[in-house]
Amino acid sequence: MNKYALALGGASLLLSVSVLAAQAQTKPPITPPEPPKFDAQGKIDYVGVADILEFKALPDYHEPDWVTKNFVASGKLPAVKDRLPKEPMVYKQGNMVDGLGVYGDTMRHVIGGRPEGWNYSAGQTQGWGGIDIGLSECLTRSGPLFQIKADELQPLPNLAKSWEWSEDGHTLTMHLIEGAKWSDGQPFTTADAMFYWDDNVNDPNVTPLNGAAPGSFGEGTTLKADGDYTLIWTFKDAFPKQYLYQMAYGTFCPGPAHILKPQHPKYSKNTYEQYKNAFPPEYLNIPVMGAWAPVEYRPDDIIVMRRNPYYWKVDEAGNQLPYLNELHYKLSTWADRDVQAVAGSGDFANLEQPESFVEALKRSASADAPARLEFGPRIIGYSLYPNLSANGWGEPDERGQAVRELNRNEHFRKAITSAVDRKRLGESLVKGPFTTIYPGGIYSGTTYYDKDSTAYYPFDLEGAKAELALAGLKDTDGDGIVNFPAGTAGGKNVEVTLLVNADYQTDKSLADGVVSMMEPLGIRVLLNQVEGKQRDALQQGGQFDWMIFRNQEDLTSVVQKTVNLAPIGPKTSWFHRAGEDGQVDLLPFEKELVDVVNKFIASPDAAEQKELMKQFQKLYTDNVYGIGLTQYPGALIINKRFANIPKGVPINLFNWAEDSIIRERVFVPADKQGKYELFPETLPGAPGDKGGPAKG
């Protein structure tokens, strides 16, 4: 019996009286109203995987003239055909909306994050906004799946060019592309995958960026190399096809073992901290498998990337990709990304903060506006998550522990959700047809959503107060804030810390809304508003009572980041993880959620998966697992000079648009190219070379 329940025992008489009074006022949930219509602007041409790419040898290959002249002719680089794999990835022209491209120009990104360094495998961020998505190529790829026909949906081949399941479905044999090289010319082999798996994912002292952990691929899963180009996975379940999505961006994107391994504590005298920080942003030309490598870093100013001469992808005419020679990442703010994209000093933005919608729409409306703006479906949204770990995750103090015990009390969660006026919250971000109430769980308007399985607790302050009484909280000292029961946290006022990502105005706006809506309920919420890197670290470390969280692909696509839907492993849930003992203290309904998600992952049957997600949605929303706040559409803003931007790209469905537009195929027609290249006719230099890009 936990100490919280003990405290209650003492007040049982008092409680039973208030229970009767309270029961009268709590209302059951309702089915959510239909969201107001919002049509995504871009119409998607659905295709099959084979329509996008294949792996094959072509009769001849080409590269930008200046590469031949300045680098190959002088012997600094082998001929392009010798820099490419036997069978490079070939993008099919039929899927390139503006056809084969030409070389030249730059894509100027603006980002709100800041690079910690290049050791993605050890958990360093590069500042988000598409840097890591471009640098770290992964076994499979899912961003472009928004255009794949539903009955053919499965991750695209990438570093893994093909795979087959054993008869019994417990073994997956995966064939890597053969002869591909890192941007410094070193071979890419299973050694890179195994170093990532053994010494990063499975080393408890290392947490790769985006949180890959043993549970990410199923408890008991093993991975072995068979020679340089074959990986052998074994799984406890049969045909757990969902894990192919986990092998895409975020969770299986190997780093260059020849550079990282010598710094790893298992192979050096380094501490884990020294390993993680061995490649600071100033370490230029880190070898990548991506289309561009970092050649210049100016703190709080810009990161410049130059084309990777060993990139292993071509178009059907044999032109080595990428077409764009350079990428910029201007180190600014997320709000400035929207401003610069519509003004034309930046080239790309995911319009994801409603506070910028009206201005961005106005600025893009005129015919001579530099950028196109195209809204997609309502797949951006936020939830308020209570930390459900009463097992020590995040090492709470007595007050924090008492809040976690309250978070685990269904009446407390129902009180919170009923005190939130979602309509008012959405309108506080932007007026108009954009936002809609979001009960929590799977998003309306997405494949696995089922309205009749969704329980919505509409705004009901009286009902919320009744639930709070049922949770055993009363304002015993009459100052307007309910108190912990005597004997818990000193019977003090209930104060809750709310973790907020200060890099986004929307996160801050929603946090202010929550603070003000909890006041009449009698809960004092204290903001812990920190910059993105810190917010991510505190979230990963469980150091929060509640958090405002922009949901990710697990609650929209469901097939991407599926493991994050529930604590199926010690570190897979966003807000409920294991304590020191490696066990997650699951609530009864969570045990059912975990079971449903595991069945979904193991099921090869689409109809069964749909059924399972209805069960998931019912369990999630009936029990108020997360408190949905608001849901709205995002828009892709892209400078008009770029060609090969697929139609109807959602800014975040299977991944972010930086992945989904397939940047390595994007080009600028010769007559529209800008003079934006900062290091024209240069290539990445030697790894760690302080001298920046190599001139011919």
Q: Which one among 91, 146, 279, 334 touches ligand BQZ, defined by CB under 6 A?
A: 334
Q: Which one among 85, 130, 179, 626 touches ligand BQZ, defined by CB under 6 A?
A: 130
Instruction: Give the separation between CA 345 and CA 391, rounded to whole angstroms.
Output: 49
Stretch that binds ligand BQZ, among 126-134, 237-245, 624-632, 664-672 (CB under 6 A): 126-134
Looking at the Cβ atoms of 8 and 191, the one nearer to Ca ion is: 8
Site map 292..331 versus ligand BQZ, x via CB under 6 A: ----------------------------------------
Which of ligand BQZ, Ca ion, none interacts with 536 (beta carbon under 5 to 8 A by kind)? ligand BQZ
Q: Which one among 319, 364, 454, 493 touches Ca ion, defined by CB under 5 A?
A: 493
Looking at the Cβ atoms of 111 and 481, the one nearer to Ca ion is: 481
Stretch that binds ligand BQZ, among 28-36, 123-131, 310-318, 680-688 (CB under 6 A): 123-131
Report, in Å, the least distance between residue 442 CB and Ca ion.
38
Instruction: Give the separation between CA 491 and CA 61, rounded to whole angstroms.
Output: 74
In contact, 600 and 612? CB cutoff 8 Å = yes
Q: Which one among 283, 292, 656, 667 touches ligand BQZ, defined by CB under 6 A?
A: 656
Q: Which one among 483, 539, 543, 617 touches Ca ion, defined by CB under 5 A?
A: 483
Which of Ca ion, ligand BQZ, none interacts with 479 (beta carbon under 5 to 8 A by kind)? Ca ion
Instruction: Give the separation between CA 457 and CA 15, rounded to whole angstroms.
Output: 24
Question: With b meaning 16 or more CB within 10 Å and e meaning fewer, what string describes 517-547?
Answer: bbeebbbebebbbbebbbbbebbeebbbbbb
In contact, 510 and 502? CB cutoff 8 Å = no
Which of ligand BQZ, Ca ion, none interacts with 350 (beta carbon under 5 to 8 A by kind)? ligand BQZ
Looking at the Cβ atoms of 125 and 493, the one nearer to Ca ion is: 493
Grouping H, G, I as helix, E, B as strand and the rest as coil, residue 689 is: coil
Report, in Å, the least distance between residue 473 CB and Ca ion.
9
Report, in Å, the least distance between residue 475 CB and Ca ion.
4
Looking at the Cβ atoms of 65 and 479, the one nearer to Ca ion is: 479
Instruction: Give the separation between CA 550 and CA 438, rounded to whole angstroms.
Output: 12
Which residue is it, tokens 């949901």? Answer: 551
Which of Ca ion, ligand BQZ, none interacts with 622 (beta carbon under 5 to 8 A by kind)? none
> Is residue 479 involved in binding Ca ion (CB under 5 A)?
yes
Q: Which one among 137, 374, 460, 536 touches ligand BQZ, defined by CB under 6 A?
A: 536
Which residue is it, tokens 């894509």? Answer: 107
- Judged by CB under 5 A, the number of residues near Ca ion is 6
Rg (C-alpha) for the chain, rounded Å, is 26
Which of Ca ion, ligand BQZ, none interacts with 255 (beta carbon under 5 to 8 A by kind)? none
Q: Is 37 exposed, middle or buried (0-12, 13-18, 19+ CB in 10 A)?
A: exposed
- Distance from the first to the final alpha carbon of the chain: 72
Phi-psi group of 252: left, alpha or beta (phi > 0 → left; psi -120 to 50 → alpha; rest → beta) = beta
Determine the Cα angle at 232 with ends 84 and 655, to 5°.
Answer: 65
Site map 336..355 versus ligand BQZ, x via CB under 6 A: --------------x-x---
Instruction: Give the separation between CA 169 and CA 147, rounded to whole angstroms.
Output: 28
> Is residue 477 involved in binding Ca ion (CB under 5 A)?
yes
List CB contacts of 365: < 8 A, sequence separation 6 or more. Answer: none
- Name the percent of the chain in helix, strand, coil, to the closest 5: 35, 20, 50
Q: Which residues contact Ca ion (rule: CB under 5 A)?
A: 475, 477, 479, 481, 483, 493
Q: Which residues contact ligand BQZ (rule: CB under 6 A)?
A: 128-130, 133, 334, 350, 352, 532, 536, 656, 658
